[in-house]
Structure 1
């Protein structure tokens, strides 16, 4: 790929880290998003740079994000696409990802409707606190309205696994813009995992804004068994989460996911995760087996 000098801004992606939205033409040249006609585009790119001052810590956070995606892909967990995923160092690192809201086909460019949790909940203030139970109930309601009741147990299991991944990998930046759904013609699904980085390392002290109720999340530790019990013990038949009543045990599914995730330290060590990330006290990788036991997940 070759860079063509930009003709205008293409930084429409949200968040604190500098980002570029680019389109690649059929000759491999890169242009700012929306400059090319759809018929000339071969791929859409989302390029991310180190946030804040771009110091060593900021750069290691970005490098770690790259390794996190690759590790989860190894475990068969959907993240931003592995195809094209690249960490380019140059003078400063940049993370290159193919956009999951665009797909180039023989018929043209397909655009997918992506909507964040904040948008679904009509939250307009960035960084607003949310309750995981409220978010799950809202999502389950959408799934039920779309006739996807039988998919609600899988939705909830996926959501739980994502929060466990955040806890293991030190991703404290879990506000409502960092989880989204993709709207189909008559269906919904969770968007792939994105913005997954060890934000506990950030010098600004990023804390979780979406949490479980206080009885289930204290001092940063989650009562995973209690969370699953709270989700499963829904007596009101009008509650969208009542669909979980006859589903396989949520906690057992989460324990199975934890067993898979126990391979992350080895995968990430082999991948080349920065030592500062692996050894950070706010990240559970170095002592993951012990942490899973403490969480009653092993």
Structure 2
């Protein structure tokens, strides 16, 4: 594998920011390019990697930096890409997938070699006449021939993208001014009115469809509780598809601006997938980089209260992320992957937990607060904020009912809702 370049989107264009030198399947060295270091107000490609010259090779861990794992294709995108590259999949297969598949990740980064791979693919697999016209939501749901041809050419074998992680089918789509949908890279930024992340059910079972259908209402319920949710009023569920407005893109009169996005797994330095981690560690990483650590601490804790109350068990370290806003502010992204995952037939357990000083799990919020590394004044502010949150949690059954959550899900969550509300009221 030859060296390539990491590009960052700024000032409306892609700029070469750093070199990526592959050293093995999961080994790589990243160095900022001198011309980028001395450019006008260069932005870091990772919040953990300040712009500047790096130490000598002997002083560096050559494992792929943690932020690169956010860009590695997973799920369906990975399964499609591995055979295309003639590789055998294994846990340490990271850099080859990155160098071919990170042509359009969420956020503001991309890998130049992956863009070349994508362009070679589209040249070798041209779309048939008429498939460029776009399609509506019903046509997408029906997976008509023209839609599949379009996605196959522009979205890498109808996966929509290799840059969105997860096992459910996902499509990054752009909507033009006539309301027609296109694979994200098939529509020029200047012609895009809205950018969507579209999710389909993992399988065809009633349970999978119920999880997806209720995710829309779950997100609206979180917004009703004061949680940061991007354009909750525009979230749609139609034809067994969930349409989520993307929050890593901002379309304006000057074009599309891509916002840097980075998972808490990256901020915590997790170089791999499924590695053990603690909620305390993720919170500490968030606080280290957030512009307003106290405000983001409260947001993070409230989100976990809702995860527990509404039995969203899929809380792994890449299901929380931060973004860098245009004014430079660093904060948690709007909430995502928030659904009644206790229903999942694969039984997805809660994987990240709160612990005490002896690394023993704690479950009561009073115990969690006692073991957070906060100043005394901050602990009191957090305690007050969580106690104030109790009324919103206690009202969740009515909120969920009003927003259209299935009655059986509300009943299944009633005990956990009551328990979370009780704990907060007692703080």
CA contact (8 A) 1:132 1:212 kept: yes
Q: Cα distance 1:76–1:252, how it changes in 2: closer, same or farther (>3 A)?
A: closer
* Counterpart pick for 2:206 among 38, 47, 56: 56
Q: 1:59-74 alignment to 2 at 5 Å?
A: 59-74=209-224
Give the aligned partner of residue 127 of structure 1.
274
Q: Cα distance 1:225–1:288, how it changes in 2: closer, same or farther (>3 A)?
A: same
Q: Which ranges of structure 2 fall in alignment gaps of 5 or more residues? A: 1-134, 140-145
1:216 is displaced (CA, Å) by 8.6
Q: Describe the superposition over 1:225-275 as per-residue Cα deviations: whole angstroms up to 9, x where unpaired.
A: 1111222xx5xxxxxx4xx33234422221111222222110111222112
1:291 is displaced (CA, Å) by 4.8
1:289 and 2:421 equivalent? Answer: no
Matched position secondary structure for 1:225: helix
1:86 and 2:236 equivalent? Answer: yes
Q: Cα distance 1:254–1:291, how it changes in 2: closer, same or farther (>3 A)?
A: closer
Q: 1:130-279 alignment to 2 at 5 Å?
A: 130-143=277-290, 148=291, 151-184=292-325, 186-213=328-355, 222-231=363-372, 234=373, 241=374, 244-247=375-378, 248-279=380-411
Q: Which ranges of structure 1 fall in alignment gaps of 5 or more residues? A: 235-240
Structure possessing the higher relative contact order (Cα contacts under 8 Å, 6 or more residues apart)? 1
1:287 is displaced (CA, Å) by 6.1
TM-score by length of 1: 0.84
CA distance in 2, matches of 1:85, 1:170: 21
1:46 is displaced (CA, Å) by 0.5
Give the aligned partner of residue 31 of structure 1.
182
1:163 is displaced (CA, Å) by 0.7
- Which is further off, 67-76 or 95-104? 67-76
Matched position secondary structure for 1:211: coil
CA distance in 1, matches of 2:300, 2:264: 12
TM-score by length of 2: 0.60
Give the aligned partner of residue 238 of structure 1.
none
Residues paired across the two proteins, number:
272
CA contact (8 A) 1:128 1:175 kept: no
Decide which structure has greater helix share.
2
CA distance in 1, matches of 2:336, 2:416: 25
1:217 is displaced (CA, Å) by 7.1
Give the aligned partner of residue 106 of structure 2.
none
Q: Describe the superposition over 1:2-31 as per-residue Cα deviations: whole angstroms up to 9, x where unpaired.
A: 257323322331111111110111121111
CA distance in 2, matches of 1:124, 1:54: 34
Give the aligned partner of residue 195 of structure 2.
44
Give the aligned partner of residue 8 of structure 1.
154
User: Which structure has the larger Rg?
Assistant: 2
